[in-house]
Amino acid sequence: MSLNTVNKVSQEASSTDYPVKSIDWLTRLIGFDTVSRHSNLALINDVQAYCEQLGLTVDLTFNKEKNKANLFVTVPAGQDADQINHGLVLSGHTDVVPVDGQTWTSDPFVATIRDDKLYGRGACDMKGFIACALALLPQAVALSNQGKLRRPLHLALSFDEEVGCLGAPLILADLKMRGITPDYCIVGEPTNMTMVVAHKGIAVYRCRVHGKSAHSSLTHQGVNAISYASRLIGFVDELAQAISHRDDNDDLFDVPYSTLSVGTIHGGTATNIVPNLCEFTFDYRNLPHMTQDDIVAPIQTKIAELTEQMQARAPETGIELLQEESVPAMRDGDNAELQALVTALTGDDERHKVAYATEGGQYTNSGIPTIICGPGSIEQAHKADEFVALSEIERCDGFLQKLLESCTA
């Protein structure tokens, strides 16, 4: 994108003439480059100004560097004091994945409509849902002002979901401190507007194998870090096979078993040097009833075995296992009442469980019943020419309209 295009998008996005329709809001949101490595403050500030223009009070929570923020805003429920700290949360993340190395047909940060599809980075993951929620706010405010809103409606926008769901815990901590205990949460990740009732957790680990260098003609004087890393990787692969055949796997998941997968490996400096360091990473995607200890305990046992062999040759060698990322699974069963509500509103009782993770597990762990439901397909996420079908936005608008009506009953 050229500098002139960036400036044009920035100027358009900063206009106080806010959109009314979801499609127009989505066009505006895509104009903000909120790739996770960048700040999201321009988008957050824009949404904050919009909410304040509607007479709402916005609460922000920031990362340590103060260059990223979460936004939480409440449309209050009439004068019903019993409901003031409860209500329904619509949750979405503002960050998007990079476009580096991808070939796009059109500018990824300028929304483009072709053949009844809207293209742009974040179109489905997940600015489409946020756009629908923002378009709903004026009507919610009007109902609140008329005293017709019986349950508060909250909007929660987070940062850095794509790199470990880092923002949502700050929102949840802030709500706890303020005594706000929402009844339900709907996370608008792309599900083709079907109901996802559970998802797997994610844990990412980095393993560092510290060997001892030597000339490759004198291998007996060294400890080959790559060789020992490969043995541990082989064990991780064997463990992956074992957990895929457990008796307690869940066929309702799109991938019905927990998975282990080695993602990166780096080591060595030259072919004539016994390498003294090798690092690799792997991720664990666990079914909700399984824990990280189900794989960490056997891996630690294998590490102890290999470390003993290494240190018998050189005491300074060894293996480190470091956890880099952890996102909890979202359990089914904690959200039965919410499932019943969504089924009643949509007439669709189809339920899904998925292998990808969201902020839903963090809401569930905080005691807030949660489901995942949003426009677009996860198959379009993170790809070049990411898109959301306009019909999906229309369906999401209809769903949120019914949801708002349920808050007046």
Distance CA 345, CA 371 (A): 14
Per-residue pLDDT tens, the chain, 409 aa: give them. 333 333 334 344 445 688 899 999 999 999 999 999 999 999 999 999 999 999 999 999 999 999 999 999 999 997 654 566 789 999 999 999 999 999 999 999 999 999 999 999 999 999 999 999 999 999 999 999 999 999 999 999 999 999 999 999 999 999 999 999 999 999 999 999 999 999 999 999 999 999 999 999 999 999 999 999 999 999 999 999 999 999 999 999 989 999 999 999 999 999 999 999 999 999 999 999 999 999 999 999 999 999 999 999 999 999 999 999 999 999 998 788 999 999 998 888 899 999 999 999 999 999 999 999 999 999 999 999 999 999 999 999 999 999 999 998 7
Transcribe 244-277 into DSSP letters.
Answer: TT-TT--TTBSS-S-EEEEEEEEE-S-TTEE-SE
pTM of the complete model beyond 0.85: yes
Q: How far apart are CA 334 and CA 371, in angstroms?
A: 10
Classify residue 330 by its DSSP letter. B
Known catalytic residues?
95, 161
User: Which CA distances in Å does 6 have to 10, 11, 31, 199?
Assistant: 6, 9, 8, 37
Structural tokens at position 103: 């070939």
Q: Let me know: does 186 contact 91? Beta carbons within 8 Å.
A: yes
- Helix, strand, coil in percent for the chain, rounding step 5: 35, 25, 40
DSSP 8-state class, residue 81: G
> Does residue 195 have a cis bond before it (omega within 30 degrees)?
no
Angle between helices 336-346 and 390-406 (to 10 degrees): 110
d(CA 405, CA 396): 14
* All structural domains of the chain: 3-199+330-406 (3.40.630.10), 201-327 (3.30.70.360)
Q: Measured between alpha carbons, how far is 160 from 69 in angstroms, rounded to an integer?
A: 9
